[in-house]
């Protein structure tokens, strides 16, 4: 006979190794297993004179405030991720959209796309050091829009 130590369910099949209720490992049950003993009253383990009049508890350590106010000996510097390329890519992409009516949208859009792709590659290669994936994607998208908008304006000017 086997018994589950968690839920105390017994099984007569000796081939079972795990409880069917909670999956715990089954142990072999014995007939003369000791019963749980319930104590009627708690025991006093530390007999002091706390209840007597005039007895003072031990004094609290006096230098607790000094420990809380001490500064750590090491610099608490949080290093942020480098987001320079994605930011420049987004700025160039926005300028490419704004000057898309002129020829300036083509080089600005191309630079925004190139810098955005470089930023995505940096972020993929070392995500702890480089960040700005969303900025890079936005720079690529705005660069593409500015680039093609400039080409469309040039084609319409040549056709008309």
Going by C-alpha positions, the residue among 79, 68, 93, 75 that lies closest to residue 143 is 93
Amino acid 75: pLDDT:
61
The string of pLDDT tens digits covering residues 81-120 is 888 999 999 999 999 999 887 778 899 999 999 999 999 9
DSSP, collapsed to helix, strand or coil, labels residue 18 as strand
Tokens of 3: 């018994």
State pTM to two decimals: 0.51
How many of the other CB atoms lie within 10 Å of CB of 131?
Answer: 17
Residue indicated by tokens 């304006």: 153
In angstroms, the Cα distances linking 144 to 113, 131, 134, 140 are: 7, 21, 15, 6
Between CA 3 and CA 142 the distance in angstroms is 68
Between CA 154 and CA 117 the distance in angstroms is 26
pLDDT of residue 70 exceeding 60, the answer is no
Q: Which of 12-16, 53-57, 107-111, 142-146 has the lowest mean pLDDT?
A: 53-57
- Report the alpha-carbon angle 118-133-146, nearest 5: 65
Amino acid 136: pLDDT:
94
Q: Phi first, then psi: what are they for 28, rounded to 5°?
A: -75, 130
Confidence of residue 135 (pLDDT cuts 50, 70, 90): very high
Going by C-alpha positions, the residue among 83, 67, 79, 65 that lies closest to residue 131 is 83
- Residue 148 and residue 106 in contact, taking contact as beta carbons nearer than 8 Å: no
DSSP notation for 20-72: TTT-PBPEE--TTPPPPP--SSPPP----STTSTT--PPPPPTTHHHHHHPPP
């Amino acid at each position: 006979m086997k018994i589950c130590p968690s839920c105390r369910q017994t099984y007569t099949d000796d081939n079972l190794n795990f409880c069917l209720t909670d999956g715990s490992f089954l142990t072999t049950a014995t007939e003369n297993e000791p019963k749980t003993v319930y104590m009627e009253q708690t025991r006093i383990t530390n007999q002091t004179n706390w209840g007597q009049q005039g007895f003072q508890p031990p004094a609290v350590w006096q230098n607790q405030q000094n420990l809380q106010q001490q500064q750590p000996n090491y610099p608490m510097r949080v290093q942020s991720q480098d987001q320079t390329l994605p930011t420049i890519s987004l700025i160039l992409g926005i300028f490419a959209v704004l000057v898309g009516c002129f020829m300036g949208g083509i080089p600005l859009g191309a630079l925004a796309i190139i810098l955005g792709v470089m930023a995505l590659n940096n972020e993929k290669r070392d995500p702890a050091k480089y960040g700005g994936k969303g900025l890079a994607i936005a720079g690529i998208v705005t660069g593409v829009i500015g680039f093609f908008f400039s080409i469309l304006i040039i084609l319409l000017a040549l056709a008309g």
